[in-house]
Homo-oligomer: A and B are copies of this chain.
């Protein structure tokens, strides 16, 4: 006997779930298209090399669905969109008008341990702005991220957009803390996990990283740990500038960050906060990185993030191109709406069910409503009328229409509001008006 279960980590999306998905996708589309983004789609499978190049080793080694096809090609089900859209833009590097604004809403797969807000198959909106290296591009992407959450009714008490810059991180790790490349990578990964561990553990592990190199003596380690701790506590760009950077006026990264916050302030974005501890997993980021954080006490977590990845398109052998992008996901969005009580009540698109009484041409009556743009189903089953009405109630359809020989002859039909029980005898035109 075949199993009734869906494959582990995936969900069967029944109509009530699909209504929520379509509600979310609809809001996404509305906001992103209002900023001039045009929709695209990419293949479900890509050669594995495209991910190996830049996605980060954890994703490629542990999380991709990789296999060999019948033609002996090693392929992966896409675990993310960025490498695919980079390939597509690279393939039209010469002819595509710049700046290019592209978005997609697609499914992805990662072999992860399924948990709340994380599934093996998941849907994401991806939007990217190509061809602008100025900070105005970063500001636009962050503005849209903010607008998307507001479109669902969220306000700035519900979420924060944490912002950092990879160039600043590199400066802090290499120049300010004096770490080598290996220590830098380890420290970035440690910062990434920081909120999931007690501060004591974090500092112990930080000490391990800096001690690993023999050149560091005990005094040095203590000094470094004080600095590390200091960075984790900073949420003010000016404070960081005073303490960390030696030559502020010449530091392009600091200028960009200041400009970015200035633009966001002028656009009325109150959710943006500087956070020098924000790292983001992917290896391909080269400038601004940011993460939208759910601030509800019971659901505090990073929801989605993005940033600037100017180097990726050049890997396809074409002239490099500046890009900023971000990818909100469906499941985290649902968790956010739930946590903040923003889930709407969603009705079926079917407005009325026609119930034939005897051997009549009920389909033609239904057609008369359809030409008036009303979504109608016909209950052709041979159950009793009260069972048919119960079925309508259960499926959430609000009206039932009874169609017998007399009704067809008189061109008047009995319309029942199945929720209230109210019943009226009306012409098709009147019925169409009520619906």
Alpha-carbon distance between A47 and B77 when the two chains are bound, in angstroms: 16
Query: Is A18 touching B4 in the complex (CB atoms < 8 A)?
Result: no
State whether the Cβ of A215 lies closer than 8 Å to any Cβ in chain B. no
Query: Is B14 touching A53 in the complex (CB atoms < 8 A)?
Result: no
The distance from the CB of A424 to the nearest CB of chain B, in whole angstroms, is 21
Query: Is A73 touching B378 in the complex (CB atoms < 8 A)?
Result: no
Measured between beta carbons, the chain B residues less than 8 angstroms from A358 are none
State whether the Cβ of A348 lies closer than 8 Å to any Cβ in chain B. yes
Measured between beta carbons, the chain B residues less than 8 angstroms from A69 are 65, 111
Given A88-B12, A370-B35, A363 contacting B136 (CB threshold 8 A):
yes
Measured between beta carbons, the chain B residues less than 8 angstroms from A88 are 12, 14
Subset of 18 A-B contacts with CB under 8 Å: A2-B49, A3-B47, A4-B317, A10-B45, A12-B43, A12-B91, A14-B92, A15-B38, A34-B375, A34-B376, A36-B350, A45-B121, A71-B111, A107-B107, A134-B380, A134-B382, A140-B378, A267-B363
Measured between beta carbons, the chain B residues less than 8 angstroms from A50 are 2
Given A7-B75, A70-B111, A317 contacting B43 (CB threshold 8 A):
no
Query: Is B98 touching A44 in the complex (CB atoms < 8 A)?
Result: no
Of all chain B residues, the one with the shortest Cβ separation from A348 is B38
Given A22-B39, A316-B2, A375-B33, A391 contacting B98 (CB threshold 8 A):
yes
Measured between beta carbons, the chain B residues less than 8 angstroms from A379 are 99
Measured between beta carbons, the chain B residues less than 8 angstroms from A37 are 350, 377
Query: Is A36 touching B91 in the complex (CB atoms < 8 A)?
Result: no
Of all chain B residues, the one with the shortest Cβ separation from A315 is B2
If A70-B111, A139-B363 are given as contacts, then 6 extra A-B residue pairs at C-beta distance below 8 Å, sorted by A number, are: A7-B45, A34-B374, A36-B377, A45-B121, A97-B395, A101-B377
Query: Is B2 touching A87 in the complex (CB atoms < 8 A)?
Result: yes
State whether the Cβ of A137 lies closer than 8 Å to any Cβ in chain B. yes
Pick from B263, B317, B376, B390: contact of A1, CB below 8 A: B317
Measured between beta carbons, the chain B residues less than 8 angstroms from A42 are 6, 12-13
Alpha-carbon distance between A374 and B36 when the two chains are bound, in angstroms: 9
Alpha-carbon distance between A88 and B349 when the two chains are bound, in angstroms: 20
Query: Is A381 touching B132 in the complex (CB atoms < 8 A)?
Result: yes
State whether the Cβ of A67 lies closer than 8 Å to any Cβ in chain B. yes
Measured between beta carbons, the chain B residues less than 8 angstroms from A395 are 38, 97
- Give the interface size bracket for A toward B: 35 or more
Measured between beta carbons, the chain B residues less than 8 angstroms from A430 are none
A77-102 interface with B by 8 A CB criterion: 77, 87-88, 90-92, 97-99, 101-102
Given A41-B13, A42-B12, A376 contacting B18 (CB threshold 8 A):
no
Query: Is A8 touching B391 in the complex (CB atoms < 8 A)?
Result: no
Alpha-carbon distance between A50 and B5 when the two chains are bound, in angstroms: 11
State whether the Cβ of A11 lies closer than 8 Å to any Cβ in chain B. yes
State whether the Cβ of A181 lies closer than 8 Å to any Cβ in chain B. no
Query: Is A381 touching B90 in the complex (CB atoms < 8 A)?
Result: no
A22-75 interface with B by 8 A CB criterion: 22, 33-47, 49-50, 53, 65, 67-71, 73, 75
Of all chain B residues, the one with the shortest Cβ separation from A109 is B44
Query: Is B6 touching A43 in the complex (CB atoms < 8 A)?
Result: yes
Query: Is A21 touching B4 in the complex (CB atoms < 8 A)?
Result: no
Measured between beta carbons, the chain B residues less than 8 angstroms from A97 are 390-392, 394-395
The distance from the CB of A247 to the nearest CB of chain B, in whole angstroms, is 25
Pick from B8, B41, B98, B361: contact of A71, CB below 8 A: B8
Measured between beta carbons, the chain B residues less than 8 angstroms from A1 are 315-317
State whether the Cβ of A192 lies closer than 8 Å to any Cβ in chain B. no
State whether the Cβ of A266 lies closer than 8 Å to any Cβ in chain B. yes
